[in-house]
A and B are shown apart, each in its own frame.
Chain A
Amino acid sequence: MLERPRSKEGDRLLDETTIRELLRTDYARLVNAVSLTAGSIAAAEDAVQEALVRAWTSRDRIESPTAWVAVVAMNLARSAWRRSAAERRARDRLEQPRSPTAADLERLDVERAVGALPRRQREVAVLRYFLQCDTRETATALGVSEGTVKNSLSKARAALAMTLGDEDDLEVIPDGEHR
């Protein structure tokens, strides 16, 4: 039987207390963040719960649990079977159609703007803007260099500002000033 590789001795595993704390403090924003890439709250909830379980049972070292869970959940939400299962559940929960509110339209704008970004930029933008992860956390969670994060964030920022913002939003902030 094949087994997944074990971590090196001394690596920190997430315990029940950490998982409870994550569930209490970060669950809602994780779901909202992942829903920007997953396409629905139901799919995001399913993916975040699975990612939390994986974090809990993981033998890997997890430096930033929130960022780690977000990235794993975003990846999970991409998988086809999970998407189809989650959509089936979402369909079950569908209510009667109603007129969109201003908040609905605002959400649609943001979802479209984020959804239009290439995958890497989208992930960086969600981690940075929604989950307030800093550059190092984002780089670690995505398994890329900090330079890649800065580069992706710069492009995502310009695209989002162009789509969502006004003229002032095009003001460029040097990468060094970011958290």
Chain B
Amino acid sequence: MANIDERLARRLQRIARPVVGPAFEVLDRRRRRRQRRRVVGAGILAATVVAGSIGAFAIARATFGDARPEDPMPVDIAPVDPGPSVEDLPGADIGLDFRLCGLQRLAGIDFFGDGTRGIAWTGAPLEEGRRCPSARDVHVVAVDHDGDGSADSFTYLPICTGCRPYEATDLGGDGTAELVVLLQLGSTPEYGIFDVVPEGLPRSAGVVPIFVQPPGARRAGYPSNQPVSLWAGGDEGFSAAIRCEGYPEATELVAAWSVYSVAEAESDPNAVEEFHQTRLRLEEPDASSASFIVLETSSGERPVGEGAPFEQPPRACGVDWAP
């Protein structure tokens, strides 16, 4: 008689489903995307290109005008017309060394607290000779700190499902605005927070994702040395909320979420959900570095269905996190 381990192994392996692995190239593309995500400070290169490209600047001005609205307002820019003009205008030029498809814009952002109104965009880089929508599934966030319509810098987004520059708000209490980018649109929107830092060159600035300082709170979704992500809203099995305390002088973000297995909850009346609550503060020791520190975190389990540990306020830190 086979021993129990062999029998259990056979029993588990018997339920295996046929799975076709991805082509190696799929994995390679994913690896390259992952590496690109780490590329920050690309603004130096972008700004150099921009500075030498008067034509691109002119096109960007022609495309976006001299828009300097007083209040940040997301504006959808139709990058292409699906008709004949596609050939003539394949994507939008914002002064980077590539055009962008699916451009989204947020204007009127005071990145440096000096009253200058800047702009942020998201979009998908257009490959040369192609038309929108871009075949590439990478997206970037780009910024123009002085609002002249020409981007100073860009960096890659880790994920984009209906992404756009969402809001600008001062999370660090130093009078400068951090950029909130909506990464995933849906019932559970996910946000990334970006810092815009001066990079030394005339009219240039870098846009970088804000990371979590060690030790972070891995279990609660805030691992150290990773860009911070915030969630709000919820769907079946998942619920999240963000609240803000001490805003704007001594802001602390409290992020909470809970999750359970829907299948388990249906079959087990005693099913539990795990919940996490983390208090974060943005540290900005100087103009060029910012990171979140985890002040406290708590995790646990409780009966299914209690929702997020607290109700989502209409606005927190000046941002409507659950539109």
Least CB separation from A115: chain B residue: B264
Assess the A171–B4 pair: CB atoms within 8 A: yes
Stretch at the interface among A92-100, A103-111, A142-150: A103-111
Nearest CB in chain A: distance from B280 CB, A:
15
- Chain A stretch 109-145: residues in CB contact (< 8 A) with chain B: 110-112, 114-115, 125-126, 128-130, 132
Q: Quick one: which of B9, B12, B40, B229 has the most chain A CB within 10 A?
A: B12
Assess the A107–B19 pair: CB atoms within 8 A: no
Number of A positions contacting B (CB below 8 A): 60
Assess the B19–A28 pair: CB atoms within 8 A: yes
Q: Is residue B70 contacting chain A, with contact meaning CB distance below 8 A? A: no
Assess the B40–A129 pair: CB atoms within 8 A: no
Query: Which of A27, A28, A84, A170 is the one whose CB lies under 8 Å from B238?
Result: A84
Assess the A20–B24 pair: CB atoms within 8 A: yes
Query: Which of A23, A24, A110 is the one whose CB lies under 8 Å from B15?
Result: A110
Question: Which residues of B have CB within 8 Å of A161?
Answer: 4, 8
Question: Which residues of B have CB within 8 Å of A172?
Answer: 4
Assess the B17–A53 pair: CB atoms within 8 A: no
Least CB separation from B11: chain A residue: A164
- Chain A stretch 161-179: residues in CB contact (< 8 A) with chain B: 161, 164-165, 168-173, 177-178
Question: Which residues of A have CB within 8 Å of B31?
Answer: 53, 56-57
Assess the B17–A32 pair: CB atoms within 8 A: yes
Nearest CB in chain B: distance from A43 CB, A:
11
Assess the B238–A2 pair: CB atoms within 8 A: no
By DSSP majority rule, is chain A's interface helix, strand, loop, or mixed?
helix
Least CB separation from B18: chain A residue: A28
Q: Is residue A3 contacting chain B, with contact meaning CB distance below 8 A? A: yes
Least CB separation from A166: chain B residue: B7
Q: Is residue B213 contacting chain A, with contact meaning CB distance below 8 A? A: yes
Total cross-chain contacts (CB, 8 A) = 135
Nearest CB in chain A: distance from B124 CB, A:
18
Question: Which residues of A have CB within 8 Å of B224?
Answer: 2
Assess the A39–B263 pair: CB atoms within 8 A: yes
Question: Which residues of A have CB within 8 Å of B188?
Answer: 84
A87 CA / B213 CA spacing, docked (Å): 30
Nearest CB in chain B: distance from A5 CB, A:
9
A114 CA / B261 CA spacing, docked (Å): 14
Query: Which of B3, B27, B237 is the one whose CB lies under 8 Å from A53?
Result: B27
Q: Is residue B85 contacting chain A, with contact meaning CB distance below 8 A? A: no
Assess the A173–B221 pair: CB atoms within 8 A: no
A14 CA / B85 CA spacing, docked (Å): 48
Assess the A160–B3 pair: CB atoms within 8 A: no
Assess the A178–B5 pair: CB atoms within 8 A: yes
Nearest CB in chain A: distance from B54 CB, A:
32
Assess the B213–A2 pair: CB atoms within 8 A: yes
Query: Which of B16, B27, B291 is the one whose CB lies under 8 Å from A28?
Result: B16
B15-46 CB mask vs A (1 if < 8 Å, else 0) is 11111111010110011001100001100000
A27 CA / B257 CA spacing, docked (Å): 31
Nearest CB in chain B: distance from A68 CB, A:
16
Which 10 A-B pairs give the minimum distances between C-beta atoms?
Answer: A27-B21, A28-B19, A107-B15, A32-B16, A129-B9, A31-B19, A129-B12, A53-B31, A2-B225, A110-B15
A-B contacts, 15 listed (Cβ < 8 Å): A2-B211, A23-B27, A28-B19, A31-B19, A53-B30, A56-B27, A57-B34, A84-B238, A87-B237, A88-B186, A126-B12, A130-B13, A164-B8, A169-B7, A173-B3
List 10 other contacts, CB 8 Å, given A80-B238, A83-B237: A3-B225, A29-B13, A32-B17, A49-B30, A84-B235, A128-B9, A129-B8, A129-B13, A161-B4, A165-B8
Q: Which residues of A contact B (CB under 8 A)?
A: 1-4, 19-20, 23-24, 27-29, 31-32, 35-36, 39, 41, 45, 49-50, 52-54, 56-57, 79-81, 83-85, 87-88, 103, 106-107, 110-112, 114-115, 125-126, 128-130, 132, 157, 160-161, 164-165, 168-173, 177-178
Q: Which residues of B contact A (CB under 8 A)?
A: 1, 3-5, 7-9, 11-22, 24, 26-27, 30-31, 34-35, 40-41, 159, 161, 184, 186, 188, 190, 208, 211, 213-214, 221, 224-225, 229, 231, 235, 237-238, 240, 257, 259, 261, 263-264, 267, 289, 291
